[in-house]
Chains A and B, each alone.
Chain A
Amino acid sequence: MNVLLAVLWKDLISEWRTRDRIVSMLLFSVLVVVVFHFALPEDASQLLKTGAAGLLWIAYVFASVLGLNRAFALELENEALSGLALAPADRGWIFLGKSLANTLLLFLVQAVTAFVFALTFNVSLTAVVPQFAVVMALGALGLSSIGTLFAAVAVRTRYREVMLPLLLLPVMIPVLLGAVRASAALLERGTLPAPALRLLIVADLTFLIVSFVLFEYVLDE
């Protein structure tokens, strides 16, 4: 448990000092939103009604991939990852610490991006802010848990940054679907559909448990 807090603290302090990931994730995410404006047709209001949630989550998924890659690239400097592997600590806690740090960062990026999105596309979120926050958090947790596991693997392969999305995208679909459906329902009707929420929670739990257990093997030689 202490190890979890130590890792979480270390990741957050590093991030605070360098603002490395948060800036690039934020910039990227907002850029994607801007690009949507140019990619969508002139009268996109109908498309936005139904597709806004999906667009947002696309931006989130790619921002998370960016952040996860950077998170482990930082661990490779000075072989810090080996330093973690040497410790007697249960690696599951190391995983949780990193995963939570990633979740927090992603959530921050999500919040700001949603705000920017609402402004530029004239979509109203004010009525559903708390529920939307819950969905974003659950989605971030799902992406960050299995993402942290895969990033630890991907970053030590020959195609580092490219490997992570290849590994992650087909597997994170349940999280994406749950999050998009929930977000869409919130935007359209202001209600949070139970099935989507259930899917998100089940996916999150599954990914958390699996990653917690498997992380043990990922730090070995």
Chain B
Amino acid sequence: MQAGVLERAAGHFRTPSLWALLPLCAVYGLAVITAPEDAVQGVIQKILYVHPACAFAAYLGFGLTALGGALYLWREDEQYDRLALASAEVGVVFCTLVILTGPIWARGTWGRFWSWDPRLTVTLLLWFIYLAYLLLRGFTEGSARAARFAAVYGIAGVLAIPLNYFAIDLFGGRAIHPENLGRGSLGAGMGLPFALGLVTALLAFFHLLARRLELEGLRARNAFAEAETQHEPARAEGPWPT
């Protein structure tokens, strides 16, 4: 069984991305530490350099999961299913980080851990969808069936997310997220660490994805090879085909 094109790409990407990631993290960390403290929010505002970046990765993760699932349904190539799985596992980690850093920030600035802010709520729902996806995979017997079911749920889930957003935005909680995250709302000296945060999160995401993908590919090839080496069943005696 050949390594799929995705896994080979992942293999090539893995080590260089690690080499890039380490110094990047150092630079990023430095930028965060030396960034000016926000006049109003204090040091806790620095979560801004982590929280949205993780959110970006979390949503990207589920997007790739759904895409992998759709490609699997279309092409029936298992490497797409492996992509979906790897992306879900890495994405859920980033999603968890978003859910953790959000309340920390909120508590530090507005005094309460949770306020049903639309964006955070949608991300919370995404988190539940991620978990349901992973549970579904874990509890379905048969890898082909699990892959198919997961693909269906991934596609349904990814379409539900914008719907969720509009629904909650229309009716949901009070918005406490800073509305405008564009250049204007970031004070002087905040642009760089913010951008670095984004890049670092993305690189970390793809690095982890590559590793997970490689691992899953190895696992699949290993299972295949193991099955191949099973010994031949005994042949019964009898007249051969006429």
Contacts and interface: CB of A to CB of B under 8 A. Distances in A.
A and B touch in the complex (CB under 8 A): yes
Given A146-B156, A206-B163, A220-B148, A170 B170 contact: no
Interface in B38-94: 73
A194 B79 CA distance: 45
Contacts of A153: 136, 149, 152-153
Contacts of A202: 163, 166
B129 A199 contact: no
The range of chain B's interface size is: 20 to 34
B146 to A, nearest CB: 9
Chain A interface mostly helix, strand, loop or mixed?
A: helix
Given A206-B159, A221-B145, A159 B167 contact: no
Contacts of A111: none
A218 B148 contact: yes
B139 A171 contact: no
B157 interface: yes
Given A178-B167, A203-B167, A210-B159, A167 B153 contact: yes
B interface, by DSSP: helix, strand, loop or mixed? helix
A177 B168 contact: yes
B201 to A, nearest CB: 24
Interface of B: 73, 125-126, 128-129, 131-132, 135-136, 139-142, 144-145, 148-149, 151-153, 155-157, 159-160, 163-164, 166-168, 170-172
For chain A, give the interface size range.
Answer: 20 to 34
A157 B149 contact: yes
B170 A195 contact: yes
Interface in A166-185: 166-167, 169-171, 173-174, 177-178, 181
Given A153-B136, A157-B149, A170-B128, A177 B157 contact: no
Contact of A159 (B139, B155, B157): B139
Interface in A151-170: 153-154, 156-159, 163, 166-167, 169-170
Contacts of B141: 157-158
Contact of A174 (B73, B144, B157, B167): B167
Contacts of A7: none
Nearest to A174: B167
Interface string A206-220: 100011001001101
A100 interface: no
Nearest to A180: B171
Given A157-B140, A163-B136, A170 B129 contact: yes
